Amino acid sequence: MESNFEPKIVGFLCKWCAYTGADLAGTSRIKYPPNVTPIRVMCSGRVDPVLVMKALSSGADGVLIAGCHPGDCHYQSGNVKTIRRFKLLQRMLDQFGIERDRVRLEWVSASEGERYAQVVENMTETLRKLGPLNWNGNKEAS
Amino acid sequence: MDYTPREIIAAFRAGLLERVLRSNTVWLCASCYYCTVRCPSGIKLTDIMYELKRLGVEFGLVQEGAIAPALSKTFVDMVDRYGRVPEIPLMMAVLLKTDPLRIFKMIPHGLKLFLRGRMPFLPHRISGISELEKCSGAMTEALVSGLHPGSGAGEEA
Amino acid sequence: MAEKIGVYVCHCGTNIAQTVDCKSVVDYVSALPNVTVARDYQYMCSDPGQDLIKKDIKELGLTRVVVASCSPLMHEPTFRRAVEEAGLNQFLFQMANIREQCSWISENKEKATERAKSIVAAAVKRVEFQESLDVKKVPVNPNVLIVGGGITGIEAALQIADSGKKVYLVEKEPTIGGYMARFDKTFPTLDCAACILTPKMVSVGQHPNIELLSYSDVTGFSGYVGNFTARVRKRPKYVEDEKCSGCGLCTEKCPVSVPSEFECGLGKRKAIYRPFPQAVPNVPVIDTEHCLYFTKGVCKVCQKFCPRGAIDFDQKEVYIDLQVGAAILATGFDLFDASRVKQYGYGKLPNVITSLEFERLSHASGPTGGKILLKNGQMPTSLAILHCIGSRDTNFNEYCSRVCCMYSMKIAHLAHEKTGARVYEFYIDLRAFGKGYEEFYKRVLEEETIFIRGKAAEVTDVPQTPAERGKLVVVAEDTLLGIVRRIPVDMVVLSVGFEPRKDAVEIARIFSISRSQDGFFLERHPKLAPVSTASDGIFIAGSCQGPKDIPDSVAQGAAAAANALSLIDRKEVTLEPTIAVIDEESCSGCKICIGLCAYNAITFDEAKKVSKVNDALCKGCGVCVAACPSAAIEQRNFTDDQLLAEVESVCVSGK
Amino acid sequence: MGSHLEFSYYPGCSLEGMNKAYDKSARAVSKSLGIDLTELNDWNCCGASAYMSIQELRAHLLSARNLALAEKEKKDLAVVCPACLTTLTKSNRYMGEDPKLRRTIASALRAANLQYLGTVKVRHLLEVIVRDIGEQEVKARVSRPLSDLKVAPYYGCQFTRPFGDFDDKESPVMLDTLLKWLGAEPVNFPLKAKCCGGMLMTTNEPIGLGLVRSLLDCAVQNGAECVATICPLCHITLEAYQGNVNKKFATSYKLPTFYFTQLMGVAFGFSRKELGINEELISSKRILPEQVEAA
């Protein structure tokens, strides 16, 4: 296992809750690992499995999808659809032999800056243990 | 109470360790846990009192003439020897060390209880005492050697 | 033709520059394909900063712009405007957040700089794929919905109505007035609450521009900024508003007497009742839980005596839809339930009361006619006020309720004035922060109120000395003395804090707004947008946002009114064009998207056998986009190409 | 009877000494309610407060051995001493919350081929009877209702504090409830969860006696004819120190104390002997039902 391995994680954050929560973590000057690079979407329901697989095949070691808590979706029920889609996504990961821990779905409200930081820290820690994903288009693997 | 719990914490923060440990406050705590469940700041005060008791014993800084530390030490000795605490021998041992005269005052009650079979004097030693010694020894060893006992892989229970 | 991209890295004073090496970021992006120019600057949002961008667009012919600075939630509109002013479509701009999600979360300059590079590079890659979009303008409905008729909602309603705009004021209770209508005096000036509130209530009732919907609640809210539809449920009062003259004969004749909620159960009311005599509207309601007709099928005395025939036992609840351009939520708070803190004996020890109960006892038209009395009818000779009940306490609510210190001192003053009793206040800290508040504290001190610094541990009726017999004993550590004191008194007043209303979750859901961790509604920005929410056109004011006293509530009510007026006076609003569009060529007509849309914005064109998006209804969430098996749907400004470019860039950078 | 519950039973040190009657009566009533209490084989001291005051980790280790033994039996642990309840629960919780502690204890246990995975729940017998057995079955067992017996329900400190979410931490009600099922009348007893002072009797008698006095006073003022206890230490303190209180404060309390299991047993029709009700310190003759006298 590489001792100094730092995973690269793509984070899809919904504009209303998770992205605002992540902003709040910054405004509150909470420090957390820099491994998750945020990509803003309007709703977690916009996250097409294709985007996730693209990230993993392009060299990401993990993907975080973060949206509003169930019941709090700005678009009423977008995140409910995310939950359903996420289950399918997990099966897809199984088929490709990718550990489920590499793709996470988390709920972070606009007021949960601290929680966002914890999620990032926790996920980074998990992926540090899992090690790099050498999959498909990953140059190192080929 | 020499100092209220708030003052104990303030003194501790100010580095006045001796004042904290020599106060009777720490050893007066009877672990009723009211403070713990009521504290608006969520401070586990009872646990802190235990910690301070332990610090006091470790540094030899306890309230002058206090019986409680002696009682606790005797308690630990007996548990380590027998695995359980025989109440009467414990009390006798403590009073012999600290206030032998009180033993005589207790005789009338004690006699009644003894006659009713409520005052067994003979300690019972559990058969797992060596097991406990082994565990305890392993723990001390691990702590002394400074190795974190759980740092190896796959040890998580 | 290759795009010409300009990249601008902001220092934000030292906010970014301290942990991100901005020069190094500029060097890095300069080398990226299609980047024509990259600069860094102290404050990009300043006029000179914006001028840099404008100048480059004009002189270098930039076709795309990236600004790396704070969160887009802060300054995206600023830079979009700047870009537009220089003649470039505002959607050819992308913002990279290197402050909130980069410099502020990091202590390691090297790592933060690497992260910044990755974030900016992704924005550069993305912006290449962005397209010009036209914003749509729609007219604004000039009506305003206000939910909640406490002092905050009343203030907002009058401000807006006086400007000539129509207001719908929805109130859950039979009358407006809220908590303030139940108070006796108000701190620090000691004006009588009724004297300053009732004229405003009457104005609301009579205002030609205010339609008051009492005993009603909002059950649905849809549409978009400037064009909302609110569904309001009018609960049956069983009394017709138009016919009732408010004579009160029905109440007088009603044979059923039950504890009055308005009086905290200290007084009685009838089964047909107005909460208090100055109620607005001055129309009673029937409480079906206790009315003999509704429970046993007999009586109807009220109907017999009503001179106007206004009683209608067959009234049903009615739903009405209101068209409004903006909404103000002023739904208020709940008081903390004092019985949850067992050690103070509320609900068990008869003379332990809440601060609101004290207000009713002290109120001239309250159950005792303004006399402070014990349960045995005698006047207390000593009284203790316990601060922070349910507030500043990790076992209950962690926040400070802000008003209790001041109202506690008002209670001390009133108790002293009306009974001559010895008054004790048990406090953790005293927070007298407002205009005239510290002076009021001095005054109460001079009245010989005894302040004991220490949170009360418990209230007990178990005596330890003869002097304590028959008394309530307040046990507390006097932290200035460092001893535990036992103070025997006749009456204990618990200064209960504020809590989010129990229906706050439901209201937040209906209006699609967020709540902060403490459960109160979340404002858009704690300093700069205190009455706005993340949803355009929906404002919040008063204690539904967090505990507030009367002056602050009134100020927020007025502020929300100004915000709403500013919106509706614009006459039209622009809509974000980031909606979904379906490519008819690729659509297979599977209809999956139709079932997913929460807004019924997608319909099926039977002739062409394809799905279609209704522009006005689509909110732009993108759920259908992600679900389309034929990839026939795109979300504008969040297209697959754009997001894939961003993803790819993030993944390769640093590898 | 419908119920059959199985527990590992942990009497605790004090039930081997002066509180034998608690042990006896607890076993008797449990059996008749269908609660199978199998004494945990070779249990050791829980690591209670006095131990915790000197040695923290070893105190947790003591608890952990008991928990490990119970886990081996695949049963939850029923206790009757609230101090044991708190100590065992504390170790159980802290090991669950703190991975470092868990690992430290786990590796120590391994030295004796023991392991603890954290599956055991520690429960007080009173809670088991009130919540798991319930009103119907308890009432069905009552053959001699304690009609009109005015009882001060005394919980002491550590029944619900700090961990017991099953009842109120300031003012618990389970014992009140149970007493009502037995036909007795629990009196208003505001000091029901206050400290008895037992911990202080050896180390600081004046303060301890003051606490006992206020408890007795409160019970008598509220019309109690006896006190029901759920804690061996409280029981001994109230029983054995009444004389000292009377001497010190010139009072004349003669308030009988019963373990709650003894009162249950009386109502269930057991004999004095079966419940270990003795008269050595304070007579209970005048308050128990006549049949009990005869037995």
CB contact (8 A) between residue A34 and residue C102 = yes
Say how many C-beta atoms besides its own lie within 10 A of residue D18's C-beta. 21
Q: Chain A: nearest CA to C529, how far in angstroms?
A: 15
Cα gap C163→C322, rounded to integer Å: 20
Give the SS3 label for residue C569.
coil
Let me know: does C406 contact C419? Beta carbons within 8 Å.
no
* End position of a domain, from candidates B42, B59, B76: B59
**ipTM summary value:** 0.83
**Which helix (H) or strand (E) is C36 found in, with range?**
strand C35-41
Q: What is the pTM of this model?
A: 0.86
CB contact (8 A) between residue A31 and residue C106 = yes
Residues B79 and B132 in one domain: yes
Strand D76-79 to D122-124 pairing = parallel
Decide if B68 touches D, using CB distance below 8 A: yes
Taking alpha carbons only, the member of C343, C334, C366, C358 closest to residue C495 is C358
Q: Which residue of chain C comes nearest to D220, CA vs CA? A: C462
Q: Chain C: nearest CA to A77, how far in angstroms?
A: 7
Structural domain for B34, as ranges? 5-59
Question: What pLDDT does residue B147 have?
Answer: 54
CB contact (8 A) between residue C97 and residue A38 = yes
Let me know: does A10 contact C650? Beta carbons within 8 Å.
yes
Cα gap C383→C361, rounded to integer Å: 14
Let me know: does A23 contact C613? Beta carbons within 8 Å.
no
> For residue range D150-189, what is the model confidence (pLDDT) as tens digits?
999 999 999 999 998 999 999 999 999 999 999 999 999 9
Decide if B28 touches D, using CB distance below 8 A: yes
Q: Chain C: nearest CA to D8, how far in angstroms?
A: 34
Q: Which residue of chain C comes nearest to B42, CA vs CA? A: C394
Decide if B110 touches D, using CB distance below 8 A: no
Type of residue numbered A111: S
Residue A30 neighbours by CB under 8 Å, 6+ apart: A113, A114, A117, C105
CB contact (8 A) between residue A34 and residue C111 = yes
Q: Which residue of chain D comes nearest to C458, CA vs CA? A: D170
Nearest to B40 among C394, C479, C484 (CB): C394
Cα gap C418→C416, rounded to integer Å: 6
Type of residue numbered C396: F
Q: C368: burial class by Cβ within 10 Å (0-12, 13-18, 19+)?
A: middle
| Any domain includes B101 | yes
**pLDDT band of B109, cuts 50, 70, 90:** low
pLDDT, greater one: A136 or C289: C289
Tokens encoding B113 = 């209880």
Question: What pLDDT does residue B121 have?
Answer: 60
Q: Chain C: nearest CA to B40, how far in angstroms?
A: 4
Beta pairing partners, C41: C10
Q: Which residue of chain C comes nearest to B40, CA vs CA? A: C393
CB contact (8 A) between residue A31 and residue C71 = no
| Any domain includes B26 | yes
Q: Chain C: nearest CA to D100, how far in angstroms?
A: 26
CB contact (8 A) between residue A39 and residue C122 = yes
Residues B110 and B129 in one domain: yes
φ, ψ of residue A22 in degrees (nearest 5): -65, -40
Q: List chain D residues with CB under 8 Å of C461.
A: 190
| Any domain includes B16 | yes
CB contact (8 A) between residue D214 and residue C464 = yes
Listed in order, strand segments (DSSP E) in C378-522 are 382-389, 422-427, 450-453, 456-460, 472-478, 483-489, 491-496, 498-500
Tokens encoding C532 = 């706005």
φ, ψ of residue D38 in degrees (nearest 5): -105, 120
| Any domain includes B121 | yes
Question: What pLDDT does residue A141 have?
Answer: 39
CB contact (8 A) between residue A81 and residue C623 = yes
DSSP H stretches of helix in chain D = 20-32, 49-52, 56-72, 82-97, 99-110, 125-127, 134-141, 174-181, 205-221, 232-240, 242-249, 260-268, 272-275, 290-294
Cβ pairs bridging C and D (under 8 Å): 12
Question: What pLDDT does residue C253 have?
Answer: 96
Question: What pLDDT does residue C273 have?
Answer: 97
Length of chain C in residues, anyone? Answer: 655
Cα gap B81→B38, rounded to integer Å: 38
CA torsion, points C29, A137, C112, C644, in degrees to nearest 10? 60
Question: What pLDDT does residue B142 have?
Answer: 84
Q: Do domains C237-315 and C579-635 have the same CATH topology?
A: yes
Q: List chain A residues with CB under 8 Å of C71.
A: 19, 23, 26
Residues B77 and B16 in one domain: no
Q: List chain B residues with CB under 8 Å of C478.
A: none
Q: Which residue of chain C comes nearest to A67, CA vs CA? A: C621
Average pLDDT of the segment spanning D258-286: 86
Decide if D162 touches C, using CB distance below 8 A: no
Decide if D191 touches C, using CB distance below 8 A: yes
Beta pairing partners, A106: A66
Type of residue numbered C144: V
Nearest to C460 among D168, D169, D190 (CB): D190
Length of chain A in residues, anyone? Answer: 142
Residues B35 and B14 in one domain: yes
**Which helix (H) or strand (E) is D257 found in, with range?**
strand D257-259
Residues B73 and B53 in one domain: no
Please provide the DSSP assignment of D24-55 as one string: HHHHHHHHHTTEEEEEPTT------HHHHTT-
Taking alpha carbons only, the member of A68, A78, A66 closest to residue A39 is A66
Q: Which residue of chain B comes nearest to D117, CA vs CA? A: B157
Question: What pLDDT does residue B111 have?
Answer: 64
Question: What pLDDT does residue D291 have?
Answer: 54
Residues B53 and B28 in one domain: yes
Cα gap C272→C196, rounded to integer Å: 28
Cα gap C307→C303, rounded to integer Å: 9
The three-state DSSP-derived secondary structure of C587-646 is CCCCCHHHHHCCCCCEEEECCCCEEEECCCCCCCCCHHHHHCCCCCEEECCCCHHHHHHH
State the total domains in chain B: 2
Taking alpha carbons only, the member of B37, B34, B9, B42 closest to residue B23 is B9
Tokens encoding B129 = 């005492």
Residues B77 and B118 in one domain: yes
Cα gap C508→C533, rounded to integer Å: 11
Average pLDDT of the segment spanning A27-48: 95
| Any domain includes B17 | yes
Residues B80 and B55 in one domain: no
Cα gap A124→A129, rounded to integer Å: 9
Q: List chain C residues with CB under 8 Å of A49.
A: 626
Residues B75 and B117 in one domain: yes
Question: What pLDDT does residue A24 have?
Answer: 93
Residue D102 neighbours by CB under 8 Å, 6+ apart: B150, B156, B157, D95, D96, D118
Let me know: does C163 contact C565? Beta carbons within 8 Å.
yes
Interface of A with C in 6-35 (CB under 8 A): 8, 10, 16-17, 19-20, 22-23, 25-27, 29-32, 34
* End position of a domain, from candidates B19, B36, B59: B59
Q: Chain A: nearest CA to C4, how far in angstroms?
A: 23
Residues B114 and B53 in one domain: no
Number of C-alpha atoms within 13 angstroms, CB side, residue D11? Answer: 22
Q: Chain D: nearest CA to C464, how far in angstroms?
A: 7
Question: What pLDDT does residue A140 have?
Answer: 42
Burial C437-466 (b: 16+ CB within 10 A, else e): beebbeebeeeebebbbbbbbbbbbbbbee
Cα gap D231→D194, rounded to integer Å: 12
CB contact (8 A) between residue C462 and residue D168 = no
Q: Is the pLDDT of residue D86 over 90?
A: yes
Q: Which residue of chain C comes nearest to B35, CA vs CA? A: C457
For domain C237-315, the CATH class is alpha beta
Please provide the DSSP assignment of B62-75 as one string: --TT-SHHHHHHHH
Which of C225, C596, C647 is the best residue to mutate to test the A interface, defined by the most A CB atoms within 10 Å of its own CB?
C647
Cα gap C89→B8, rounded to integer Å: 66
Length of chain B in residues, anyone? Answer: 157
Q: List chain A residues with CB under 8 Å of C522.
A: 110-111
D to A contact (≥3 Cβ pairs closer than 8 Å): no
Q: Chain A: nearest CA to C141, how far in angstroms?
A: 22
CB contact (8 A) between residue C395 and residue B1 = no
Q: B117: burial class by Cβ within 10 Å (0-12, 13-18, 19+)?
A: exposed
Cα gap B19→B12, rounded to integer Å: 8
For domain C5-135, the CATH class is alpha beta
Let me know: does C82 contact C52? Beta carbons within 8 Å.
no
**pLDDT band of B88, cuts 50, 70, 90:** confident
Taking alpha carbons only, the member of C175, C297, C171, C288 closest to residue C233 is C171
| Any domain includes B156 | no
Decide if A69 touches C, using CB distance below 8 A: no
Domains defined for chain D, CATH in brackets: 5-124 (1.20.1050.140), 134-289 (3.40.50.11810)
Let me know: does C52 contact C9? Beta carbons within 8 Å.
no
Q: List chain C residues with CB under 8 Å of A32.
A: 105
Q: D207: burial class by Cβ within 10 Å (0-12, 13-18, 19+)?
A: middle
| Degrees to nearest 5, angle at CA D29 with D28 and D32 | 95
Burial A36-61 (b: 16+ CB within 10 A, else e): bbbbbbbbbbbbbeebbbbbbbbbbb
Q: List chain D residues with CB under 8 Å of C464.
A: 214
Residues B33 and B98 in one domain: no
Nearest to B38 among C392, C428, C457 (CB): C457
Average pLDDT of the segment spanning D48-56: 89
Domain C337-499 part of CATH 3.50.50.60: yes
Decide if D152 touches C, using CB distance below 8 A: no
The CATH code of domain C579-635 reads: 3.30.70.20
What is the mean pLDDT of each successive set of 10 residues along chain C, which is 655 residues long?
A: 92 95 96 96 95 96 96 93 96 96 94 95 96 92 98 98 98 97 96 95 97 97 93 97 94 96 96 95 96 96 96 97 98 98 96 98 95 97 98 97 98 97 97 96 96 97 94 97 96 98 95 91 91 94 98 98 97 90 94 90 93 88 94 95 95 74
Taking alpha carbons only, the member of D198, C482, C459 closest to residue B1 is C482
Cα gap C111→A124, rounded to integer Å: 15
Tokens encoding C236 = 């049956």
Cα gap C255→D96, rounded to integer Å: 61
Residues B120 and B145 in one domain: yes
Q: List chain D residues with CB under 8 Å of B25.
A: none
Domain C137-235+317-332+501-572 part of CATH 1.10.10.10: no
Domain map (residue ranges) of chain C? 5-135, 137-235+317-332+501-572, 237-315, 337-499, 579-635
| Any domain includes B157 | no
Q: How far apart are the first and last CA of chain C?
A: 29
Average pLDDT of the segment spanning D106-123: 95
Which chains contact C through at least 3 pairs of Cβ atoms less than 8 Å apart?
A: A, B, D
Tokens encoding B59 = 């540094």
CB contact (8 A) between residue A17 and residue C514 = yes
